[in-house]
A and B are shown apart, each in its own frame.
Chain A
Amino acid sequence: MFRSVKQNFEGMLYIFPSFLLFAIFVFYPMVRTGYLSVHMTDFQGNPTNFVGLEHFRYLLEDVNFQQSVKATLLFVLYTVPPTIIIALSLALLANEKVKGIQLFRTLFSSTLGMSVAASSVIWMFMYNPAIGVINRIITALGGEERQWLLNPDTALIAVAVATVWMNIGFAFLILLGGLQNIDSSLYENAKIAGVSYMYQLRRITIPLLSPTLFFVTTVSLIHAFQTFGQIDILTKGGPMNATTVIVYSIYREAFINYNFGFASAQAVVLFFIVLLVTIVQFAVVERKVHYQ
């Protein structure tokens, strides 16, 4: 089809700002990350000599990196399913038509407005061994005080609990929206038929909510792989690397040890993990999700 030069030019003009920025801040750095990952670098991040897949080979052997992959996977496991289950329960509750429900909807979504830094500082204090509320409650109930963030056995779980709380707001809001999108006459018909609440949940709500659940799961998974702020504030990757998730490992390697090449190799791994998760999600769930 013939299009005038002017028309082409005009289109380009409108998308130029976006693509200029994408080029500088997304495409170039992606390529550059790949490039750096096969080089040794100096302290300014300039590549010095080509080392091929040396970094990646080293990653496979590196105990620290294995630990950080393990911590990341555990962290995902500890955060994503609980977030979705809790947010779904809250959304189901908040979808009931009772007086004053709007207030509860607002309260339940409030953690969406909480920054990672502010939330982490609050949880830091809650976990404080001497004066934090968590130990106070536990001792009041006759349990013993714990060093939640300093004990390698509990640190990751403690960070995960805080993270679940931070992520509830977002997941809740999206799931509530999904529930509200379900045609109310479907429930009215169920009411007249007289099916039980659980049957209704299993047979109507969950299947019809599946596109939304799928979206929330994907976003939460990707989000979990990118966790950084709460780790930096609550544990700094410790104790004994128990909470060094992959992004924190990249940060430490690049901006504390100035080992940009090695850090880039880890960034490449992160990229492929996220890509893989996305592809798997789409491939597996696409067939099982009910679209209307």
Chain B
Amino acid sequence: MIELVQIGKSYDGKTFVVDDVNVRIEKGEFFVLVGPSGCGKSTLLRMIAGLEPITSGSLRINGKEMNDVPPSERNLSMVFQNYALYPHLTVEENITFGLHTKKISKQERKKRCMEAAEMLGLTDYLKHKPRQLSGGQRQRVALARAIVAQTPICLMDEPLSNLDAKLRAKMRFEIRQLQQQLGITMIYVTHDQMEAMTMADRIMVMDGGRVQQIGEPLDVYNHPANIFVASFIGSPAMNMTKADVLEQSLIFNRERIMRLAHRFPLETKNITIGVRPEHIRLANKNDPYFTVKVVNVERLGTETLITFALTKKEHWIARWNGQCSVRVGDEVPVTIDEQHVLFFNEAGERLYVGVGDDYVSFRETKF
């Protein structure tokens, strides 16, 4: 069990690149830190590893304070983004690197290495040098090295970012399987929300050095805490638009108006609304609807992405299953269930309002 209590990191003593991180990671959990580059996720991981000193707060592993314990005594392993393989050592030497410090006999080292190699399909390459391997194989060597240490915790820093898309999908599955098989606690850093969604037991979304939300992937997807999380998680991204509040209506760029079943607090003047692309659907016969003009259509085979103009300035994307016959320039009637519309205040925080079961309509205004 790993506990982070008010963890902060600052290089100059004034600005914090990681600020006030609180989280408890359970044993055997696959925990993913996700966020855009520069959000502090790698720094946080390196603080857990002991490669960066912790400026403030406390890091506990199994209840023991670890802030000043050197990396080698934290009983963890780490896989680096560039794999950190020693170019002059063979695959076998790379895998067993450092094991001698843990007072493990030569036979045991050899045995562990063979097992790990077997598991990852590296048996034939043990005498090769890293430069003779493909990207995927190098990645596996790095994994094998993390495995043979048999530490209860494994840290991974963007381990798949140097692989091509196909291989990445395959390795996602392999890493996840490996983690479950070995029962280790995994802390995994990535900037790829897809990776986070597919691999994690829980994800922690970070931005600007601060935690934005922690939760199970679907929870975060369905109930984003703020605009950042809403727009970061999901692809294509959630549609977002600013609106002015006028009594029980929302006005979009003076072009469209949306009526609500409820009122916002009086002081709310501007809000942002968000709708996931899959929640905008073609209106059925009896649905209230609003008409939009299609500006782009992307047919991906299993689904179709339709870009339409919500206002003159803003384009939204709708995602429909199957292969639609909509064409650019068409005017189509669409509708959104009100329960699928998310509201955010000016600070970007989620506004929880009473959910009606009405449909939402974006009518054109008459001003």
B62-94: CB near A (< 8 Å → 1, else 0) gives 000000001111001110111010111100000
Q: Which residues of A contact B54 (CB under 8 A)?
A: none
Nearest chain B CB to A110 CB, angstrom units? 29
Query: Given A186-B84, A290-B87, A292-B131, are A191 and B72 neighbors across the interface (CB < 8 Å)?
Result: yes
Interface size on A, residues (CB 8 A): 18
Q: Is the CB of A195 within 8 A of B86?
A: no
Q: Which residues of A contact B238 (CB under 8 A)?
A: none
Assess whether B101 is interfacial by the CB under 8 Å rule: yes
Assess whether A18 is interfacial by the CB under 8 Å rule: no
Q: Is the CB of A194 within 8 A of B77?
A: no
- For window 181-198 of A, CB contacts with B under 8 Å fall at 183, 185-186, 188-196
Q: Which residues of A contact B70 (CB under 8 A)?
A: 191, 194
Q: Which residues of B contact A194 (CB under 8 A)?
A: 70-73, 98, 101-102
Assess whether A208 is interfacial by the CB under 8 Å rule: yes
Interface size on B, residues (CB 8 A): 27
**Max chain A C-beta neighbours (<10 A), residue from B70, B101, B131, B145:** B101
Q: Which residues of B contact A204 (CB under 8 A)?
A: 86
Assess whether A207 is interfacial by the CB under 8 Å rule: yes
Q: Which residues of A contact B100 (CB under 8 A)?
A: 195
Q: Is the CB of B98 within 8 A of A185?
A: no
Q: Which residues of A contact B149 (CB under 8 A)?
A: 193
- Cα–Cα distance between A146 and B287 once the two chains are bound (Å): 108
Nearest chain B CB to A206 CB, angstrom units? 10
Q: Which residues of B contact A190 (CB under 8 A)?
A: 97-98
- Cα–Cα distance between A186 and B86 once the two chains are bound (Å): 7
Q: Is the CB of A191 within 8 A of B71?
A: yes
- Cα–Cα distance between A193 and B142 once the two chains are bound (Å): 13
Nearest chain A CB to B329 CB, angstrom units? 52
Q: List 29 A-B contacts (CB under 8 A).
A: A183-B84, A185-B80, A185-B84, A186-B84, A186-B86, A188-B71, A188-B78, A189-B80, A189-B97, A190-B97, A191-B50, A191-B72, A192-B49, A192-B50, A192-B71, A192-B78, A192-B98, A193-B98, A193-B99, A193-B101, A194-B71, A194-B98, A194-B101, A195-B100, A195-B101, A196-B101, A204-B86, A208-B86, A292-B87
Query: A193-B101, A290-B88 given. 11 additional CB < 8 A pairs?
Result: A185-B84, A188-B84, A191-B51, A192-B76, A192-B77, A193-B97, A194-B71, A194-B73, A195-B98, A203-B86, A292-B131
Taking Cβ atoms with an 8 Å cutoff, the residues of A that contact B are 183, 185-186, 188-196, 203-204, 207-208, 290, 292
